[in-house]
């Protein structure tokens, strides 16, 4: 990814003041002798992804945007570069550009050939150090953003539990691990009893609060390594690696009792509402010999719990 030198641009501040704050003004006169200034209209491309890294740009005025294409060929703006920024230095090692850079607004840039820029960086240790620490900051920022993006991708937005897609991927992985090690694992499917009636009576916002509370209860009871996810709607699932059928039943019963006794929608002057939950348990490798059988058996037992009067666990 293209990187940048510079920080904290105040659009209302004079450009010279901004450059002095970053300390790059001391280097610009020397850089200016190595390259030439160009003006770019808004939308003009400085370079495209895959182009050779034959130059470096110092942004004097305006803003540039770093653009990439997602796997679906949709354009993604990775970041906006502001005045006082050096861009493109990573590609001066002879590699190709990792992203497209174009003018977000009308720009004035200083373009320096890559060999001259490399020589300049070797002769100016302070400048090279600024480039290094900027890269450190960029890597840290990128790492945080990747972590946030990953969490969003695997997490249910409402309950903050894992989502259904992540659960299915982990189930496949854990089944393979259990086959190799001879371990067992158990799965519990839960469903909130008569949840549609609760929604119809009290409204979807209060129904969402019930979902959040149930998720919190399950997470509090589960072990650190357990995969607890929202399966869909008012259904939840717990993947318990290394747990026997008896241990899964104990876990499910603990959840059921905690939900049954939890004071939902408790508020001053209002009686707390009662919510119950039903569950079905299954264990690998017996009686379930595959991930599909594990889900199927747990689902059948959940259905049995519902048919037998709800607020119970069938294992």
Q: What is the three-class DSSP state of 26? A: helix
Residue where the block lists tokens 């209860």:
217
Residue where the block lists tokens 């820029």:
117
Q: Exposed (0-12), middle (13-18) or buried (19+): which is 157, by Cβ within 10 Å?
A: exposed
Cβ(94)–Cβ(140) under 8 Å?
no
Starting at the edge strand found earlier in the chain, the sheet holding 4-5 runs 4-5, 85-87, 55-61, 107-113, 36-40
Residue where the block lists tokens 């150090």:
129
**Which residues partner with 187 through β-bridges?**
239, 282
Starting at the edge strand found earlier in the chain, the sheet holding 45-47 runs 45-47, 100-103, 64-69, 75-81
**Active-site residue (options: 72, 234, 293, 300):** 234
> How many helices (DSSP H) and strands (DSSP E) are in the chain?
9, 14
Tell me how far CA of residue 12 lies from CA of 17, 62, 86, in angstroms.
Answer: 11, 12, 21
Of 244, 237, 253, nearest to 188 by C-alpha is: 237
H or E element at residue 284: strand 277-284
**What is the C-alpha end-to-end distance of the chain, expressed in Å?**
52
Tokens of 220: 């509090």
**How many CA atoms does the CB half-sphere of 139 hold within 13 Å?**
7
- Give yes or no: 234 in active site: yes
Of 194, 235, 239, 242, nearest to 215 by C-alpha is: 235
List, by residue number, the catalytic residues: 234
């Amino acid at each position: 990814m293209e990187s940048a030198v510079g920080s904290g641009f105040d659009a209302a501040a004079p450009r010279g003041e901004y450059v002095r704050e970053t300390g790059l003004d001391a280097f610009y006169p020397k850089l200016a002798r190595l390259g030439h200034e160009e003006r770019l209209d808004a939308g003009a491309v400085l370079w495209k992804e895959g182009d050779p890294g034959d130059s470096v740009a110092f942004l004097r005025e305006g803003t540039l945007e770093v653009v990439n294409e997602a796997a679906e060929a949709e354009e993604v703006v990775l970041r906006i570069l502001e005045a006082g920024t050096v861009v493109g230095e990573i590609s001066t090692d002879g590699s190709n550009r990792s992203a497209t850079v174009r003018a977000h607004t009308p720009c004035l840039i200083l373009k320096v050939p890559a060999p001259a820029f490399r020589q300049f960086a070797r002769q100016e240790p302070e400048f090279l150090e600024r480039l290094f620490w900027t890269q450190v900051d960029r890597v840290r920022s990128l790492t945080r953003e990747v972590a946030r993006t990953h969490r969003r991708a695997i997490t249910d937005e409402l309950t903050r539990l894992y989502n259904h897609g992540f659960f299915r991927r982990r189930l496949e992985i854990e089944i393979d691990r259990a086959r190799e090690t001879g371990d067992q694992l158990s799965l519990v499917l839960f469903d909130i009893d008569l949840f549609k009636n609760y929604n119809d009576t009290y409204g979807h916002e209060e129904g969402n609060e019930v979902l959040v509370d149930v998720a919190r209860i399950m997470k509090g009871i589960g072990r650190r390594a357990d995969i607890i996810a929202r399966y869909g709607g008012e259904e939840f699932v717990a993947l318990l690696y290394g747990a026997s059928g008896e241990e899964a039943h104990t876990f499910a019963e603990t959840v059921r009792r905690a939900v049954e006794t939890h004071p939902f929608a408790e508020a001053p002057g209002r009686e707390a509402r009662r919510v119950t939950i039903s569950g079905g348990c299954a264990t690998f490798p017996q009686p379930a010999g595959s991930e599909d059988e594990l889900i199927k058996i747990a689902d059948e037992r959940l259905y049995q719990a519902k048919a037998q009067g709800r607020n119970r666990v069938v294992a």
